[in-house]
Amino acid sequence: MSTDKNQVGQNVVLGPAQARFLLSLASRIVPEVKDAEDEVKNGLVSSVDHALALQTSTSRLLFKFLLFVLQWVTVPFTLHRLERLPPKWQDAVLEFFENAPLTVVRAGIWGVKTLIYLGYYGQESVERRIQYLPSKTDGNSKLEALFRQRTQ
């Protein structure tokens, strides 16, 4: 009766080529990724990989299939894989898929984007960069201090 999707997986889901393409895709979804430190890039890939490891094998397969489709879908039209196209063309392809007539395609792109956002915005250094600095124990004190600061 047990299920694999709620257990922490030990294996790395994404191979090196898939991880490289994921990063390339991530730099279109979140442009800051392109010039981010290696630590942030590695953090992104490992977070996505870990999240995939928690999914069912079907979901993992679907994700990899979607990456494959995104990477190769442009070849028949341009003779180039997605990541080799000019950035504006890449964005146009992603926009097309995000607004595709089929719900299942839109949902697939939403899933890829969501994992990339998880991998990027889930990192503490990124939280600091975007000024998200919560306090576990002193939120009300900090709120009060900010009110005082602004009324002075």
Binding site for another protein (CB under 8 A): 1-3, 5-6, 8, 28-32, 47, 51, 54-55, 91, 94, 98-99, 103-111, 113-114, 117-118, 120-122, 124, 126-127, 130-132, 134-144, 146-147
Tell me how far, at minimum, the Cβ of 16 lies from another protein, in Å: 23
Closer to another protein by CB, 17 or 138: give it.
Answer: 138
Tell me how far, at minimum, the Cβ of 129 lies from another protein, in Å: 9
3-state secondary structure string across the chain: CCCCCCCCCCCCCCCHHHHHHHHHHHHHHCHHHHHCCHHHHHHHHHHHHHHHHCCCHHHHHHHHHHHHHHHHCCHHHHCCCHHHCCHHHHHHHHHHHHCCCCHHHHHHHHHHHHHHHHHHHCCHHHHHHCCCCCCCCCHHHHHHHHHHHHHC
Tell me how far, at minimum, the Cβ of 108 lies from another protein, in Å: 8
Closer to another protein by CB, 16 or 58: give it.
Answer: 58
